């Protein structure tokens, strides 16, 4: 794991929290002090928490788990989507769909409907309908795309969920806890981290800070996935070797 250095985090503004008047007391253990009425996060603790989160994500990737990326802040949407797609993982960047976890089968039904319509559109099957009907299908597909495109890869409840801002994504956090899904989350000084399993104390507004943390999360998970692939390849080679030995014995 390539954990960001203190200097790199300083340059990215990871240490800047919110104004002292907007803080949550439960974030006190992660705060170094205040400057000009703004809380400053302790980057040494952030570094340690990144390491803990990285180890968890690496193991999750090695075990073939599913990581759901969630971040609907405008400045983070493209970053979240890009990294989730690189990992081959599901994501939510526009609006959390209520019941995405607690009413998974119903929401998955809508996702399957979107996938089915998309396949029919791509295969030309919808061309048998009138132009008006095709137009209506097109509008429905685009509406469903905005809601469910990032959830196509979520065929079952995720093994864990990464949340950029638990204040903005409070419903996602609540649903994850109800389903006992581990939560890794970026926590700024204005949130209550008590329901987060792996807290990453960091600035969740500044673009460079968001990029740094999301990049780290994604790369740790990808590293685990690559190790899983290598392990499976070695297992396959060993199985083939055993089969060959058995064949040689029989001959």
Residues 210-220 have pLDDT tens digits of: 999 999 999 99
Where does the pLDDT of residue 227 fall: very low under 50, low under 70, confident under 90, or very high at 90 and above? confident
- The topology (CATH level 3) of 102-156 is Helix Hairpins (1.10.287)
Q: Which residues contact 246 (CB under 8 A, 6 or more apart)?
A: none
Compute CA 210 distance to the chain's CA centroid, rounded to the nearest angstrom: 13
**Is the pLDDT confidence value at 245 over 90?**
no
99 compared with 231, residue with greater pLDDT: 99
* 3-state secondary structure at position 1: coil
- The mean pLDDT value for 237-247 works out to 61
**pLDDT confidence of residue 235:** 59
What percent of the chain shows pLDDT beyond 90? 82
Backbone φ and ψ for 18, nearest 5 degrees, come out as: -95, 175
CATH of domain 6-98+159-250: 3.40.50.10490
Q: Is 249 helix (H, G, I), strand (E, B) or coil?
A: helix
> Could you tell me how many residues make up the chain?
251
Instruction: Identify which of 196, 162, 170 has the alpha carbon closest to the alpha carbon of residue 54.
Output: 162
Strand order across the beta sheet in which 183-187 lies: 91-92, 67-70, 160-163, 183-187, 198-201
**CATH 1.10.287 in the chain, residue ranges:** 102-156
Range 193-207 average pLDDT: 97
Domain with CATH 3.40.50.10490 in the chain: 6-98+159-250
Measured distance CA(203)–CA(17) in Å, rounded = 6
Query: Which pLDDT belongs to residue 148?
Result: 95
When pLDDT is cut at 50, 70 and 90, the band that residue 243 belongs to is low
83, 61 Cβ separation under 8 angstroms: no
Q: Write the pLDDT tens digit of every residue in 23-72.
A: 999 999 999 999 999 999 999 999 999 999 999 999 999 999 999 999 99
Q: How far apart are CA 133 and CA 115, in angstroms?
A: 18
For residue 129, what is the DSSP state?
S
For residue 251, the model assigns a pLDDT of 62
Name the one residue in this structure whose structure tokens are 């999301």.
Answer: 214
DSSP 191-204: S-GGG-SEEEE--S
Give the integer Cα–Cα distance in Å for 88 and 66: 9
Contact 6/43 with Cβ under 8 angstroms?
Answer: yes
Each residue of 87-136: pLDDT tens digit? Answer: 999 999 999 999 999 999 999 999 999 999 999 988 898 888 888 998 99
**What pLDDT is stored for residue 228 in this prediction?**
77
Span 215-238, mean pLDDT? 80
Alpha helices (H) in the chain, listed in sequence order: 6-12, 43-62, 77-87, 104-123, 131-148, 170-178, 207-250
Averaged pLDDT score across all residues of the chain: 92
Q: Are strands 38-41 and 16-19 parallel, antiparallel or unpaired?
A: antiparallel
């Amino acid at each position: 794991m390539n954990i960001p250095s203190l200097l790199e985090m300083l340059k990215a503004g990871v240490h800047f929290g919110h104004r002292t008047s907007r803080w949550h007391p439960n974030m006190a253990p992660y705060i170094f002090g205040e400057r000009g009425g703004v809380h400053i996060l302790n980057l040494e603790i952030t570094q340690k928490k990144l390491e803990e989160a990285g180890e968890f994500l690496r193991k999750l990737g090695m075990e073939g788990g599913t990581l759901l990326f969630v971040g609907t802040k405008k400045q983070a949407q493209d970053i979240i989507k890009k990294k989730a797609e690189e990992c081959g993982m599901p994501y939510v960047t526009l609006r959390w769909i209520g019941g995405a976890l607690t009413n998974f089968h119903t929401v998955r039904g809508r996702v399957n409907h979107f996938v089915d319509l998309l396949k029919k559109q791509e295969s030309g099957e919808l061309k048998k309908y009138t132009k008006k009907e095709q137009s209506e299908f097109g509008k429905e597909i685009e509406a469903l795309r905005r809601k469910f495109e990032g959830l196509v890869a979520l065929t079952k409840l995720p093994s864990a969920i990464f949340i950029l801002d638990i204040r903005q994504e409070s419903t996602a956090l609540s649903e994850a806890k109800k389903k006992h899904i581990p939560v890794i989350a970026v926590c700024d000084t204005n949130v209550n981290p008590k329901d987060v399993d792996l807290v990453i104390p960091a600035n969740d507004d500044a673009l460079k800070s968001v990029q740094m943390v999301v990049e780290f999360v994604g790369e740790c998970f990808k590293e685990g996935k690559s190790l899983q692939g290598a392990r499976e390849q070695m297992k396959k080679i060993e199985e083939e070797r055993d089969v060959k030995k058995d064949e040689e014995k029989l001959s």
